[in-house]
Homo-oligomer: A and B are copies of this chain.
Amino acid sequence: MEVYEKVPKGFQFYGTHVGIKKKRKDFGLIVADKVCHAAAVFTKNTFCGECIPIGKDHVKNTELQAVVVTSGIANVATGKIGRENEYKILEKLANKLTIEKENILPSSTGVIGPQLPIERIENFLDAEPIVLKENYEDFAQAILTTDNRIKVRSLKVGEATILGIVKGSGMIEPNMATMLSYILTDAKVEKQEIYPMLKIAVDQSFNTISIDTDTSTSDTVAFLASGHHEVKKTELQEALNQICKGLALDVVKDAEGATKTMFVTVKNAESKEQAKNAGKSIINSPLVKTALFGHDPNWGRIAMALGKTEGLIFDQNKVEIYYGQYPIFSTNNEEKQNINKIAEYIEQNEDIYLTVDLHQGTESFEVIGCDLSYEYVKINSDYST
């Protein structure tokens, strides 16, 4: 596999301003030249956006041909009118692009509560031509809200290409975070294989990151395969995993107000789930996050976060905690001599590696988080309404 700039065969893009945001692009399209095998995973938040149930319905048969994204308004908590507006957009698009409405996956991201300016969107679609491009740049721009940059990754797998695009930075608009990711490939993927493949990749990437514990109402990751090239399934899975991991890291790196990225590995737990829960408890602790922001090797907070993890089985006497290569706690004792080295390590690195070895079982898991800064409070406390 190598990094590959070209887009997969059979996909085109579009991104423009239709008038949801004031000036910036707010309407994006991905269109395939024929129906693709497809899978998607969605937010588990039950107070979810109007796009989510429609998306679930449309991807049920493992087929999609297009993705439409509106940004600036999330179309969440908008009731019957919100749902109808979404269908109006899908119908206009289906007619205009001559594809089945049921093969379009809709997404929306932005402020919760307001209705989409549906007349403006319909008038735009009636009046303006849609000129699709091979270049994904306009689309990647059109799905952003408070993101600082577009986030795109691609890889080559045999003759095929796999391309991933993601948006998300923890909080988007000062109202609601949403992570949207679209992964496209011209490889051939069987219908019954596409969802399990995506699930494997998502579980070890997007589902291992946390910026602020708050699950958005609109999160969506979709995977479309246009089927032009036969490739080895294991190689494609590996590339998909790598793309998803890369995109997930891009999201944490663009996290609101963050100055550090924290990679936490919990080793030798009784189960993968326990290792993951312990890691999440650490990266989600406000006390761990503020200590990281303050460059403070405050390992007591790591111990606290470990101890409050529900269902985690461990023996305090066997636990070892490392910052980078430096042990700070072992045999129920503080390794005082390393405090200054660790303070320096935190000071001088943007990526901080923390390892907790439970010496309890054989399962390990890595999660990725970030610090909690003044800037996070600023971004999210600014008056928005």
Q: Pick the contact of A79 from B304, B331, B343 — CB < 8 Å?
A: B331
A295 and B213 contact, CB distance less than 8 A: no
Q: Does A176 contact B (CB under 8 A)?
A: yes
> How many monomers of this protein are in the complex?
2
Q: Quick check: which of A88-96, A110-118, A196-204 contacts chain B, the rest being far away? A: A110-118
Q: Pick the contact of A45 from B296, B304, B343 — CB < 8 Å?
A: B304
Q: Pick the contact of A380 from B44, B290, B299 — CB < 8 Å?
A: B290
User: 6 A-B pairs, CB-CB below 8 angstroms?
Assistant: A76-B300, A77-B329, A111-B300, A174-B296, A176-B300, A216-B304
Q: For chain A, which range describes its interface: under 10, 10 to 19, 20 to 34, or 35 or more residues?
A: 35 or more
A304 and B215 contact, CB distance less than 8 A: yes
A308 and B214 contact, CB distance less than 8 A: yes
Q: Quick check: which of A158-166, A360-368, A369-377 contacts chain B, the rest being far away? A: A369-377
Contacts of A377 in B (CB 8 A): 290, 293, 372-374, 376-377
A79 and B333 contact, CB distance less than 8 A: yes
Q: Pick the contact of A287 from B297, B380, B385 — CB < 8 Å?
A: B380
B44 and A77 contact, CB distance less than 8 A: no
Min CB gap A288→B, angstroms: 8
A300 and B332 contact, CB distance less than 8 A: no
Q: Does A339 contact B (CB under 8 A)?
A: yes
